[in-house]
Every structure is written in C-alpha cells, then in structure tokens.
Amino acid sequence: MAFLTEAANRGSIATGYDIENSLKFESDNTESLTKSQTSSNRKTWTLSLWFKRTKIDTSLQYVYHWNVSSGNEFYIMFNGDADWRVEEYSSGRKLAFHSAQKPLNDPSAWYHLVLACDTTQSTSTDRFKIYLNGVQVNAISGYFSTAQYPTQNYDTHINNSAATISIAKSITASTNFCGYMAEVNFVDGQALAATDFGKFHSASNIWQPIEYTGSYGNEGYFLNFQDSANLGDDASGNAKNFTENNITAADQATDTPTNNFCTWNPLWAYPNTATVGNGGTSSIGGAAAVWRGSKGTIGLTNGKWYWEQKANGNDTIVGWQTENVISVTGTNAHNVNDTIALYEAGNYIWLRDETSGRNDTAASGSYANGQIVGFALDLDSSPQTATFYRNGSAIASNVNIDGLTGKTIFPFTSHYQQTSNANFGGYTNISDAHTNTDENGYGAFVYTPPSGYYAICTKNLAEFG
C-alpha cells in the first residue's frame, strides 16, 4: 500500500493551518486520559485523530478503549507487530477490522485516522468507514484480513452511558500506546468523511490537516492539548473534559503533524539496538554489559542544525552518523564508519571514516553527569564542520567532517548500560528548564542554538534542508 508511505504526513508541506501542540504518551509511566461516557447517539458518530508512534515492538498498544464490562468493549489497538485492529464486542464480536499487513510503523511520520459510523445505512459497507491518511482503507480489496461490519441499526458502545473512555491505555490491562497524539475530534450524531479534517496537498499529494469547522453534537469533544495546566481540556465548547492519569505539563509537546521533530528511531538495526522511550527522546540501556545504540528519524544533507543531550554516565558517545550499516568489525554502534561524536569519558571527539578508520581529535575537556551538551552541524560550509558545546560553551569547534560530503547524516548515540537522553526540541524528559528556541522560534532548548543553526524539524527542513 504505497499511499501509506507517500501520504503519511511528515510536516514538511505548508498547510495553512498549524497544530501547535500534541500530547506525549508513554507506557512505562501508564499515561492516559479517561472520561465517563454519557448517553447519546450510539449509531452515528465520527472519531478523527492524528498520531505518531515511538515504540514499535511485540507489545499490545491500545490507542482508544471504550469499556462497559468484560467482553463488552470497543477499541483501536496495535496487535504487537502483527497488525492493527478496530473491534467491538457485545456478548460476542459485532464489528471487526484487522489489517492484513504490519502495523503503521514509520516512527518518523504522523498518521491520520478517521472512523465514521452510521449503522442506520441499509448497505453494510456504508455503516462503518475507516480512513487512513485520507484514503478509505476498508474500500481497498485485501487491506483488511478481517472485515466484519455491524448489523443495521446496531448500537455501538460509543456514547453508551455505561462505558468509560480511555485514550492511550486499555482500561482493563497495562497495554499503553507509546507516542504522540494531536487534534482529536469526536463528533456526535454525524458520520463524516476524512475531508472534513484534512486534504491532499495539490503538488505532493501528502495528506495534511485542516481545521474542523463543523458542529460536535451533544457528546462531541475536541482535544487540542494547548492548555498545559489541563491537557484533558475539551476545546469544543461542550466541556467534555478528560481526567489526566500520570500526565503533567511536561508531557505537552510541540511535535505535531504540521511541524514534525526528529526522535530516536526504534527500528534502526544495530547489533545491540537500544530500547526507545520518553516520546522517542531516551535511548535506554539495560542490565546486560553491552553497548547499545540509537539513530535519529530525520537525516540531513545540507543546512545548519542543532540539538542537545544531557550527560548521564561516563560511557556515552553522542553525535552524528551517516546511513551506513555496520561496516567494521565489532558489535558497538559507535564502530560504524562515518561517525563524529563526543566521548563522554574522555576529552576527545570520536572520529571514524571509511578510509582511515578511527582518528580522534582533542576537545577542551570532557563533560560530566548533569551537564548539557549541544551539537551543531554545519553542512553548508566548506569544509563541512561539527561543533560540540558543554553548558553553552564550545569545547570542540569546527571539526572538519568533509569526508561525509554527499552523505545523509543523522543524530546518533551509543551508550554502555546507561540511558542517553536527548532534546531535539519537540519534546524532552530532560528536567532542566528548556525555553530557548532557534531563530525561527522552533524547538525548546536548554541553551540558545548558535546563530544560524536550527532545530531538526520539518518546518526548518522545508526552508533550509
């Protein structure tokens, strides 16, 4: 299904409508939003939401769950890495759609999902429609391995007064969604099309958000996550607010479908790939005595770019790496050719290229636990250079990286058991105050990026990348 890749919104197309915030959800913290349901139209409704995944593995991840009792529920969930599902049970399965391929597993992309229900329709296939990135996928032959439509005039559990709604977690089990959600619209009493919430860009054919301007009905709600003091606030005017569970103001993000930020990629294949957490900003170590590595979701070929890292243990190597696969002997992520990184335990820059192998260069001091390291990459100069900062001051300036000219360069980290915590500007779990932006006003950094350097996000990429 090529449209899943081509139409996935990575935020690089100007939309004319900006989504300012998203909400980060993490399974380790059992973060979710919940609300008791009130009775209304159970036959006709629409749900629209944008999401970006940051953890992709074999675990179940519930995106939405309406629960009445055991065996009486409606949910949207990722069935590990096997498929994704939309199902309703009411003393037996009443509605079911199982994708015939892997789940939506591009961690660099925002996806848009619309469920439109109208069980009063006489034709079964008109009673339930699923749109993904603007395309009605249950109208595509073979997209779903299971496709069971509800019976005519069936009352779903949505708007069932006995139901509880949970966003990003199963109500009955610890099966959480990991990632970001934005622009959640629930419309009571209408079965709408995806075009009420988005449109295809005329030149690129990328699906992009538009503002929903219709009514919400009695039980409708709109979650825009703009109020950091009340992230479950309903902005529709209906006051259908959600309760925040283990969610704080720190979970508000600026990584959105209209400005998509770099995160760590959970699918990058090193011999010892790290687990990714905290909205894709933590590369997590483990008890095993091995080096683990992560690479960013966004690669760069030109422009000037900046991101930050908080030191956490001595055995951490952080910087930049090309798209090369493992190409030297060894099982460590930093032993990949085309690596430019600061080694936390020493006072030098770790350099490795295809021709001369490892060739380190001195830095004016190492960095220690709790300090903030800044990484500035200049791909427009000649020669191309990398500069490393410690707490806002340069400790290695204009390191020549001309050997990487013409290659795509990604943020990268390698760490020995420790967890490596990054700040790409869209969200971070670094607790230090991060209120400084780049010159375009994007990102939220501990230190102000050097003049002319920008956060790795798609609005900046559209201008400088």
Report the pLDDT value the prediction gives residue 10, as an integer from 0 to 100: 54
pLDDT band at 174 (very low <50, low <70, confident <90, very high): confident
Which amino acid does the sequence have at 374? G
Partners of 273 in the beta sheet? 293
Contacts of 403 (CB under 8 A, 6+ apart): 338, 353, 354, 355
**What is the CB neighbour count within 10 angstroms for residue 161?**
12
Q: How far apart are CA 15 and CA 209, in angstroms?
A: 7
The domains of the chain are located at: 3-253, 275-464
Q: Tell me if 189 sits within 8 A of 183, measured CB to CB.
A: no
Per the CB < 8 A criterion, the answer to whether 445 and 423 are in contact is yes
Residues 264-306: tens digit of each pLDDT: 999 988 888 999 999 999 999 888 888 999 999 999 999 999 9
pLDDT at 47: 98
CA 271 from chain center: how many Å? 24
Q: Rounded mean pLDDT of 240-248?
A: 97
More confident site: 356 or 269:
269
Tell me the mean pLDDT in the region 423-451.
Answer: 97
CA distance 448 to 462: 21
When pLDDT is cut at 50, 70 and 90, the band that residue 13 belongs to is: low
Mean pLDDT within 225-245: 98
**Backbone CA torsion sign across 218, 219, 225, 229:** positive
**Res. 2: pLDDT tops 60:** no
- Reading the block at residue 64, the tokens are 């939405």
Q: Given a cut of 80, is residue 12 above it in pLDDT?
A: no
pLDDT the model gives residue 447: 98
Q: What is the mean pLDDT of residues 198-203?
A: 91
Token output for 61 = 């991840």
Q: Is the pLDDT of residue 220 over 50?
A: yes
Looking at residue 14, what is its pLDDT?
Answer: 55
Q: What is the mean pLDDT of residues 146-169?
A: 97
Report residue 351 as tokens.
Answer: 């350099």
Q: Express each pLDDT in 331-350 by its tens digit.
A: 788 888 888 898 877 667 88
DSSP letter for each residue of 212-230: --S---TT-EEE----TT-
pLDDT, average across residues 5-18: 58
Query: Is the pLDDT reported for residue 11 higher than 70?
Result: no
Q: CA 400, 404, 407: angle at the middle one, nearest 5?
A: 150
- Per-residue pLDDT tens over the stretch 33-83: 999 999 999 999 999 999 999 998 888 999 999 999 989 999 999 998 889
Q: What average pLDDT does the segment 191-212 reach?
A: 94
354 versus 270: the higher-pLDDT residue is 270
CATH class of the region 275-464: mainly beta
pLDDT of 121 reads: 98
Q: Which amino acid belongs to residue 439?
A: E
Model confidence pTM above 0.85: yes
pLDDT digits (tens, 9 = 90+) for 78-123: 998 889 999 999 999 999 999 998 779 899 999 999 999 999 999 9
Phi-psi region of 34 (alpha: psi -120 to 50; beta: other; left: phi over 0): beta
Length of the chain: 465
| pLDDT value at residue 307 | 98
Query: Do 172 and 44 touch, CB atoms closer than 8 A?
Result: no
pLDDT, average across residues 5-24 = 70
pLDDT number for residue 366: 64
What's the CATH class of domain 3-253? mainly beta
In angstroms, the CA 336 to CA 265 distance is 17
The pLDDT of residue 6:
41
Model confidence over 390-421: pLDDT tens digits?
Answer: 999 998 899 888 878 889 999 999 998 889 99
C-beta contacts of 439-447 below 8 A and 24+ residues apart: 442/254, 442/259, 443/254, 443/261, 443/306, 444/254, 445/306, 445/308, 445/374, 446/308, 446/372, 447/308, 447/372, 447/374, 447/389, 447/391, 447/392
The average confidence (pLDDT) of the chain is: 91
